[in-house]
A and B are shown apart, each in its own frame.
Chain A
Amino acid sequence: NAGVTQTPKFQVLKTGQSMTLQCAQDMNHEYMSWYRQDPGMGLRLIHYSVGAGITDQGEVPNGYNVSRSTTEDFPLRLLSAAPSQTSVYFCASRPKGAGLRDTQYFGPGTRLTVL
């Protein structure tokens, strides 16, 4: 198993540009989520999905869109990038039935810089 994969690893955008961060997992996990990591702030939840066709907002959803058309993929879209979105983005997944009391599996991250 490749686990949770993310592309690209690094990205530089100009303000106002759009892009999609890709996330895929091959573990047949129902639950997937996106976090951003900023210095001194730990990880903050952006959006999450409990299964194909179902998404919901986390604590910092503004400026980001998600969709979940398949179990495997959970892309994160930035419609109009802003410097405040400069961060490291992590995708995570966990199995169906595994609640928040269980382990999450993280991807390697995407480092995004918005100029």
Chain B
Amino acid sequence: GNSVTQMEGPVTLSEEAFLTINCTYTATGYPSLFWYVQYPGEGLQLLLKATKADDKGSNKGFEATYRKETTSFHLEKGSVQVSDSAVYFCALGHSSASKIIFGSGTRLSIRP
């Protein structure tokens, strides 16, 4: 069946450091891939998405590329800020499935 595996946290970085949060998936066909972000005390909101192989989603300095050959959708940012501290969820949506599949979430903390 469909599944998402993402890097376990928590991840703690200094401001301006480079960020990578790994996400790999298992699915047949061509799912859409998402990164959602949950800021403290808030609900999830879409950060970026990609709907087909080799697509790059980007938003707020974050990027992720849909790699079908490695079944991955790693989240990257070149220079993180304290305001990026949040929980990040990788997710998969497939037209043949009945629900979105979420990863377990990665908590990111950025030190000033």
Contacts and interface: CB of A to CB of B under 8 A. Distances in A.
Nearest to B103: A42
A101 B43 contact: no
11 contacts: A41-B104, A48-B99, A90-B43, A99-B95, A100-B95, A101-B32, A102-B93, A104-B46, A106-B36, A107-B43, A108-B41
Contact of B104 (A42, A45, A92, A109): A42
Interface residues of B, number: 25
Size bracket, chain A contacts:
20 to 34
A26 B35 CA distance: 24
A101 B89 contact: no
Contacts of A4: 43
A1 interface: no
B93 A106 contact: no
* Chain A contact surface mostly: loop
Contacts of B44: 43, 90, 92, 106
A104 B99 contact: no
A103 B94 contact: no
Nearest to A35: B102
Interface string B80-108: 00000000010001110111101111000
A104 B103 contact: no
Chain B CB within 10 Å — which of A4, A100, A103, A107 has the most?
Answer: A100
Interface of B: 4, 31-32, 34, 36, 41-46, 49, 51, 89, 93-95, 97-100, 102-105
B47 to A, nearest CB: 10
Nearest to A111: B41
Contacts of B51: 101
A40 interface: yes
A95 interface: no
B97 to A, nearest CB: 6
Interface string A1-43: 0001010000000000000000000000000010000001111
A51 interface: no
B99 A42 contact: no
Given A42-B89, A42-B105, A100 B46 contact: no
